[in-house]
A and B are shown apart, each in its own frame.
Chain A
Amino acid sequence: MSGAHIASRDWNDVAEGKPVAHTAMGTSPQGQTLHEPLRGWASFSATFLVMFKEEGRKSMEFAKKRQIVLFPLLLTLITALTTVGLQFLVGGSTAQVSDIEQKTFSWGELRFALHLPLLMFSLGMGTFAFMGHDAIVHRAGTKNYLLAAPALQPLPNSVAHFAYFIKDLCFYVLLILSPVIAGMALGITLESVNGLSTPLEWSSLPWTWLAMIITLGQGLALAFLGSALWMRGRPYTIVGPAVIVIFGVALGLGQINLDGVLWGLYVQSNQSVLVTAAALGGCVSIGLIASALIVDDFDVSVVQREEMFMPIYNKLGFLGDGEIRLIVAKEFVDLIRSGSIKKMTVSYAVPLVVLLGMAWLVDFAEAPIPINLLSYAPFLGFFGFNFYSWLTILDSPEFMNGLPLRVPQLIRAKVIVYFLATSWISLIFIVLMAWQLDEWPSLPTSIVVMFANSIYIVALTAFLMGLRPNKAIFDASIMIWFWIGTVLPLLGLFLLSFTQGDVSLYGNWWERASQDGLAATATMYDQSMVERGYKGMLMISVGLLFASALLWKLMDRRWGKSEFSN
């Protein structure tokens, strides 16, 4: 037997050139029967169920089993109550009728209100290519996931990602969509029990369920595709956001039919088996295309970098000399070195640009509510939730368990990083919006409302969910508090904003609505309502800032004894 041989040369002694497939070099399996690796459906089926189990355990790790069970029950209950309340929104007409005479809201508007948030939610949750990359990068840490399995196992990376996409879709269908449908069914059942009337019919439930699955699948698939393209680098990192903005503006201008964009909405309106099958097939196909774009690349770059920590630390003198300043500097280094700052900034800015484009080009004169500069300001807080969630998964914080630091300090540092990294974008957005709407007098108030909201939502998220916001979404108790904490003040701000701006266009909407509810009619424009609305908004904003400060203080009580883990 000849022995092993090994020899190396200097890098420059070997000509440059990409590695290419070649003819046999002369190795042999020495009698070992070689197996073909599982590919396609076989590898998908070997992975899917195990991933599903993994997802269940992941969710249960943060929220206790009881909370996971409570979450769908809570959804069922809320949907049941909403179903009973539908009669007050749409009158007595049934969901089956497509041309319902509008009494208050039309069925079309309600359907839109059902599908649009679902699409937004799924777009936010479907960036699987980013998740896969993070899993690969962090696989040497204490936590590892099946999504990183292709690095070692004979499993194509594309199949692992596709299985992850389908797994997430099924998981959300089971935990969110099905309880919602169960709630609708319960609402209809209540009709026969105590005489409460609901316009929903049994036969509409399967279609609503299918339509919601399609919207969810579409959002997940599109976000998956976007993230897969982004991971391929230029030109997609430039073309991608540009396409989204153009698309948003075209949609706002009415150049693109909403039914054609929201497939689920179209399915629900038309109730055609063929269209349903085509839409489902479309979602799966987009998912497949996105998967095919995922390459078997397990490189974890070890490029040497220039010192970054101390220069950043030195710029943060306004944070004092305590631990927070150190952690914020470290978080910024993570943000920049991981390459996440680009995608996070883009994902924060793109929805704002779309909103701006719509304000620029859309004539809101036909809208049922008087949207103005102050109506846009509260929106920003919701984008803050996503940004904060990403900040918590940049790096595993477990190494901090051995350092003289506490979890509340890290949480506070992340909130500060969020504010420092995004406030300039928000500020540019609101100034541009004021310029476009020509509502300069409202700008100072809008800035206060915007920052108060933005800080409050992130402070509330950080307080309730700590370092694991992504895992908290199925925790019923946390979500109840989150809903109470966000919906009430934001709804208040949003409604009060209708008293501001060019209300003469719409008549005194707020006064009409507050007096006569949904049967309101136009009355005279009232300056005192504008003033009261203005004061109300400022009071809520000051209240939110006060609440943020309180949550900041209470962070120690809630997370002081926790260990560093995400």
Chain B
Amino acid sequence: MVESDGPLVMAKDMAKKYGDFIALHPLDVEVHAGEFFGVFGPNGAGKSTFIKLLTGQLRPSKGQIEVLGVDAVADPQKVKANIGIVPESESPPSFLTPTEFLEFVARLRRVEDIENKVEHWLDWFGLNEKRDTMCKDLSKGQRQKVMLAAAFIHKPKLLFLDEPFANLDPIYQRKCRQWLLDHVKEGGTIFLCSHVLEMAERMCNRMAIINDGKVLAAGTVKGLKINQEETLEDVFIRLVGRSIEDVEGHDDTASTDGESEEE
């Protein structure tokens, strides 16, 4: 089979509007095989909308989206069938056990040798003891592990992760991070959304910073810094239009205003 060297993900003029509110301004994006691409931004910047549009969970208000050679607007099912998605806040179905949910997902995704794959991922995430507990009775972190396992179970080459480690303990954060890095080394591709900048420094080849639904800057982690002293956090604060003083609460004007409002 002759492989094309085209990107895995491509969108042109992709945008989303809810009523009068523009969640995402039109943007073009390309992500290639073997990349660990991160989109970072403050809360409400449009990161989750971005990932939901690319994965066929939302229909764009404008533009075209193609993933793995499949039109994500015309056939979102096929896109979902061939990628892995870890959502930001969605839990697994409350009244199924982790085992049942993974079996359900594996069946929908035509995974072979379902029993062993489910066993493997339950074991990998340390969920063996909770395998027969309904998901509603799991902790937030355990529910997040189930969602991660559901995204990994068919070992998709392309993974979309939205704040994937938000509720994980440091041990599993590290374990997952290493798995994802190995996955990329083996030819996998990852599209990540987060506001945790540490992840960009540790994992991403390339990154973009967005705010108010617009891309403010993009490039390599090093390339975004003005100088070596500048931290990625400084870059982020600078790009979203805030000052360090304001963020740390030393901005006298802002503070006085706040107090007068309180009064």
A residues neighboring B (CB under 8 Å)? 1-11, 13-14, 16-17, 19-22, 24-32, 34-39, 43, 46-47, 50, 53-54, 57-58, 61, 139-146, 148-149, 151-156, 296-299, 301-304
Nearest CB to that of A16 among chain B residues?
B62
B26 adjacent to chain A (CB < 8 Å): yes
Tell me if B214 is interfacial: C-beta within 8 Å of chain A: yes
Expressed in whole angstroms, the Cα–Cα distance for A156 and B78 within the complex equals 10
Contact of B59 among A27, A43, A297 (CB under 8 A): A297
Q: How far is the CB of B198 from chain A (nearest CB, A)?
A: 20
**Which residues from B are CB-within-8-Å of A140?**
87-90
Offer 30 A-B interface pairs, CB within 8 angstroms, sorted by A: A4-B205, A6-B27, A6-B28, A6-B30, A6-B218, A7-B215, A7-B218, A8-B28, A9-B26, A25-B12, A27-B66, A28-B5, A29-B157, A30-B187, A31-B3, A34-B70, A35-B81, A38-B108, A39-B77, A46-B104, A50-B104, A54-B93, A54-B96, A139-B91, A144-B91, A146-B93, A153-B80, A154-B78, A298-B58, A299-B59
Complex interface: chain A residues within 8 A of B37 (CB): 4
Question: How many pairs of residues, A versus B, come closer than 8 Å at their CB atoms?
Answer: 235
Q: With the chains together, A19 CA to B71 CA distance in Å?
A: 11
What residue in chain B is nearest A298 (Cβ atoms)?
B57
Contacts of A10 in B (CB 8 A): 25-26, 214
Interface string of B18-48 (1 = CB under 8 A from A): 1111110111111111110101000000000
B23 and A34 form a contact (CB under 8 A): no
Q: Chain B's nearest CB lies how many Å from the CB of A336?
A: 16
A3 touches B205 (CB 8 A): yes
Which one of A38, A146, A156, A299 lies within 8 Å of B96 (CB-CB)? A146
Across the interface, name the chain B residue whose C-beta is closest to A135: B93
Q: List A contacts of B32 (CB < 8 A).
A: 1-4
Are A154 and B81 closer than 8 Å at their CB atoms?
A: yes
Compute how far the CA of A20 lies from the CA of B73 in the bound complex, rounded to whole angstroms. 8
CA gap between A57 and B30 in the complex, in Å: 44
CB-defined contacts of B17 to chain A, threshold 8 Å: 11
Query: Is A149 in contact with B93, judged by CB distance below 8 angstroms?
Result: yes
Closest 7 interchain pairs by CB? Answer: A28-B4, A154-B81, A8-B27, A37-B81, A303-B19, A57-B95, A37-B77
CA distance A299 to B60 in the complex (A): 10
Q: How far in angstroms is the closest Cβ of chain A from B184?
A: 12
Residue of B nearest to A144 (CB): B91
Is the beta-carbon distance between B64 and A25 smaller than 8 angstroms?
Answer: yes
Contact of A154 with B109 in the complex, beta carbons under 8 Å? yes
Taking CB atoms and an 8 Å cut-off, the chain B residues in 71-119 that contact chain A are 71, 73-74, 76-78, 80-82, 85, 87-96, 100, 104-105, 107-110
Pick from A1, A7, A38, A57: contact of B34, CB under 8 Å: A1
Which residue of B is nearest A297, CB measured? B59
CA of A19 to CA of B14, assembled, Å: 9
Chain B residues with CB under 8 Å of A155's CB are 77, 108
B184-227, CB under 8 A of A: which get 1 and which 0?
00010000000000000000011010100111001010000000
Q: Which residues on B are within 8 Å of A, measured CB to CB? A: 1, 3-10, 12-13, 15, 17-23, 25-35, 37, 39, 52, 57-64, 66-71, 73-74, 76-78, 80-82, 85, 87-96, 100, 104-105, 107-110, 134-136, 156-158, 187, 205-206, 208, 210, 213-215, 218, 220
Residues of B within 8 A of A28 (CB): 3-8, 68-69
A35 and B82 contacting across the interface, CB-CB below 8 Å: yes
- Chain A residues with Cβ below 8 Å from B158 are 32
Complex Cα spacing A38 to B227, Å: 51
Distance in angstroms between the alpha carbons of A35 and B80 in the assembled complex: 10
Separation of A140 and B157 alpha carbons in the complex (Å): 26
**CB <8 Å contact, B80 and A22:** no
Q: Once the chains bind, are A19 and B73 in contact (CB under 8 Å)?
A: yes
Known contacts A2-B32, A28-B4, A144-B92; 8 additional CB pairs below 8 A are A25-B10, A26-B10, A30-B68, A43-B108, A50-B96, A146-B104, A299-B59, A301-B18
Do B68 and A34 have beta carbons less than 8 Å apart?
Answer: yes
Given that A145-B93, A155-B108 are known contacts, is A19 also in contact with B60, CB under 8 Å in the complex?
Answer: yes
Residues of B within 8 A of A26 (CB): 4, 6-7, 10, 66
B21 touches A35 (CB 8 A): no
Known interface pairs A28-B3, A30-B4. Does A154 touch B77 (Cβ–Cβ under 8 Å)? yes
Q: In the complex, which of the residues B1, B22, B23, B39 contacts A31, with contact meaning CB atoms closer than 8 Å?
A: B1
Q: For the complex, what is the distance from the CA of A151 to the CA of B93, rounded to whole Å?
A: 12
* Complex contact A36–B81 (CB within 8 A): yes
Q: How far is the CA of A36 from the CA of B82 in the complex (A)?
A: 8
CA of A382 to CA of B4 in the docked complex: distance in angstroms?
A: 65
Asked whether, in the complex, the Cβ of B94 is within 8 Å of the Cβ of A4, the reply is no
A156 contact set on B, CB distance < 8 A: 77
Smallest CB separation, A129 vs chain B (Å): 18
**Is A6 in contact with B215, judged by CB distance below 8 angstroms?**
yes
Q: How far is the CA of A13 from the CA of B31 in the complex (A)?
A: 23
- Of all chain A residues, the one with the shortest Cβ separation from B147 is A152
- Please tell me which one of the listed residues A9, A29, A38, A297 contacts residue B110 in the complex, with CB atoms under 8 A apart: A38
Q: Are A152 and B85 CB-contacts (below 8 A) given A11-B22, A14-B13? A: yes
**In the complex the two chains form, is B78's CB within 8 Å of A36's CB?**
yes
Contact between chains at B90 and A144 (CB < 8 Å): yes
Please pick, from A27, A50, A139, the residue contacting B7 in the complex, using a CB distance under 8 A.
A27
Q: How far is the CB of A46 from chain B (nearest CB, A)?
A: 5
| Inter-chain contact A154/B108, CB cutoff 8 Å | yes
In the complex the two chains form, is B15's CB within 8 Å of A11's CB?
yes
Q: Which residues of A contact B23 (CB under 8 A)?
A: 302
In the complex, the answer to whether B18 meets A35 with C-beta atoms within 8 Å is no
How many Å from the CB of A151 to the closest CB on chain B? 6
User: A50 to B101, alpha carbons, bound, how many Å?
Assistant: 9
Cα distance, A58 to B134, chains bound together (Å): 11
- Least distance between A28 CB and chain B CB atoms (Å): 4
A147, chain B: closest CB distance, angstroms: 9
A61, chain B: closest CB distance, angstroms: 7
Report whether B82 and A4 are in contact in the complex, using a CB–CB cutoff of 8 Å: no
Question: Please, how many angstroms separate the alpha-carbon atoms of A259 and B225 in the complex?
Answer: 78
**Interface core residue of A27, A34, A61 (most chain B CB under 10 Å):** A27
